[in-house]
C-alpha cells in the first residue's frame, strides 16, 4: 500500500480541505478582540470531529488509508488555524500574564521535535483545557480585564505552537524529517483486521524508483495472526537533503 495512492482517499481529502478553507476564509479579515479570535479558532479546530467521522465511515481511522487521510486533514486544519491566528488583535506583550500562563501550563509535556499534526492538535487542546481551568480557578474569574489580558497571552502561546508546525511543513528539509518521523507513528496507530491493535516493523528500506522518486518502505507484521503489509511512503523532499 502506498500513501496517497487510493483515489477515493484523495477525493475525500480534497473535498474536506476545501471545506476547511471555506470555513476559514471569513476569519481572514481579522478580529477586534482576542475572544472573537478564540471563538473562530475553536470553530476551525472543531472541523476535526467532522472529518474524523467521515474517515471512519468510509475507511477506518485504524487502517492505512484512514490514518494517512487523517494526517493530511489534521495538517490542513492546522494551516487553517494559523490563518485564523494571524488575524488576532495587536498584542504588545504582557510579561506577567505570559509568566502566569507558563506556570499554569508547566505540567503539560512537550511534543516531539517533528510532531505529526494530531500531536499538535492534542497539545492545543491541552492548552485550551489548561486555560479554562486557569480562568475558572484563578483569583478572580469575574475580572474581565484580567481575563482579557490572559486571552491575549493565551493566543500568543497557541500561535507559537501552530506557527512552528506550519513553518516546518512548508520548509522542504524539515518537512522531509517530519515525513520520516511520521512513518513510525502511522504504524503505531495501525490495527490489524484480526483485532490486534499493533504491527511490528520487520524491515525498513529506502527505494529509488526508475523515475528517480524516492520512497521509504516499511514491512510490518501482525504479532497475533502473522499478517504482513508493505507500507510505502513517498519521500518527495528527499532530494532537498543534498542542499542542506
Q: Smallest gap, in angstroms, from Cβ of residue 190 to Zn ion? A: 10
For position 121 contacting Zn ion by CB under 5 A, the verdict is no
Cα distances from 103 to residues 2, 9, 140, 158, in angstroms, run 44, 42, 17, 15
- Report the residue number, 157 or 189, with the smaller CB distance to Zn ion: 189
Helices of type H across the chain: 7-24, 34-45, 47-58, 64-86, 95-104, 117-137, 144-170, 172-189
Q: Smallest gap, in angstroms, from Cβ of residue 3 to Zn ion? A: 21
Burial (0-12, 13-18, 19+ Cβ within 10 Å), 219? middle
Grid cell listed for 24 = 476559514
Q: Smallest gap, in angstroms, from Cβ of residue 223 to Zn ion? A: 8
- Report the residue number, 154 or 199, with the smaller CB distance to Zn ion: 199
Q: Smallest gap, in angstroms, from Cβ of residue 219 to Zn ion? A: 15
For position 227 contacting Zn ion by CB under 5 A, the verdict is yes
Of 85-93, 111-119, 142-150, 217-225, which segment contacts Zn ion by CB under 5 A?
A: 217-225
For position 224 contacting Zn ion by CB under 5 A, the verdict is yes
DSSP helix/strand/coil, 10: helix
- Report the residue number, 126 or 221, with the smaller CB distance to Zn ion: 221
For position 94 contacting Zn ion by CB under 5 A, the verdict is no
- Residues between 179 and 198 that touch Zn ion (CB under 5 A): 192, 194, 196
Among 37, 222, 231, 235, binds Zn ion (CB under 5 A): 222
For position 225 contacting Zn ion by CB under 5 A, the verdict is yes
- Report the residue number, 42 or 194, with the smaller CB distance to Zn ion: 194
How many Å apart are CA 80 and CA 36, to the nearest integer?
16
DSSP string, 157-190: HHHHHHHHHHHHHHSHHHHHHHHHHHHHHHHHH-
Beta bridge pairs of residue 221: 200, 228
Q: Total binding residues for Zn ion by CB under 5 A?
A: 7
CB atoms under 10 Å from CB of 171, counted, come to 14
The contact pattern for Zn ion, residues 23-42, with x = CB under 5 A and - = no contact, is --------------------
Positions touching Zn ion (CB under 5 A) are 192, 194, 196, 222, 224-225, 227
Amino acid at each position: 500500500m502506498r500513501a496517497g495512492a487510493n483515489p477515493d482517499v484523495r477525493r475525500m481529502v480534497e473535498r474536506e480541505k476545501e471545506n476547511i478553507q471555506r470555513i476559514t476564509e471569513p476569519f481572514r479579515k481579522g478580529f477586534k478582540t482576542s475572544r472573537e479570535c478564540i471563538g473562530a479558532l475553536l470553530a476551525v479546530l472543531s472541523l476535526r470531529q467532522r472529518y474524523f467521522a467521515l474517515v471512519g465511515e468510509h475507511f477506518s481511522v485504524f487502517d492505512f488509508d484512514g490514518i494517512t487521510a487523517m494526517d493530511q486533514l489534521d495538517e490542513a486544519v492546522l494551516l487553517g488555524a494559523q490563518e485564523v491566528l494571524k488575524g488576532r488583535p495587536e498584542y504588545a506583550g504582557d510579561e506577567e500574564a505570559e509568566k502566569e500562563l507558563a506556570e499554569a501550563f508547566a505540567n503539560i509535556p512537550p511534543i516531539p521535535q517533528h510532531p505529526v499534526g494530531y500531536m499538535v492538535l492534542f497539545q492545543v487542546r491541552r492548552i485550551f483545557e489548561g486555560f479554562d481551568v486557569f480562568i475558572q480557578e484563578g483569583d478572580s474569574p469575574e475580572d474581565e480585564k484580567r481575563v482579557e489580558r490572559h486571552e491575549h497571552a493565551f493566543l500568543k502561546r497557541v500561535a507559537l505552537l501552530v506557527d512552528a508546525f506550519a513553518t516546518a511543513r512548508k520548509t522542504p528539509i524539515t518537512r522531509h524529517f517530519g515525513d520520516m518521523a511520521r512513518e513510525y507513528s502511522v504504524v503505531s496507530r495501525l490495527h490489524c483486521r484480526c483485532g490486534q491493535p499493533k504491527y511490528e516493523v520487520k524491515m525498513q528500506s529506502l527505494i529509488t524508483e526508475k523515475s528517480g522518486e524516492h520512497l521509504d518502505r516499511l514491512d510490518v507484521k501482525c504479532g497475533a495472526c502473522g499478517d504482513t503489509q508493505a507500507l510505502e511512503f513517498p519521500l518527495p523532499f528527499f532530494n532537498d537533503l543534498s542542499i542542506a
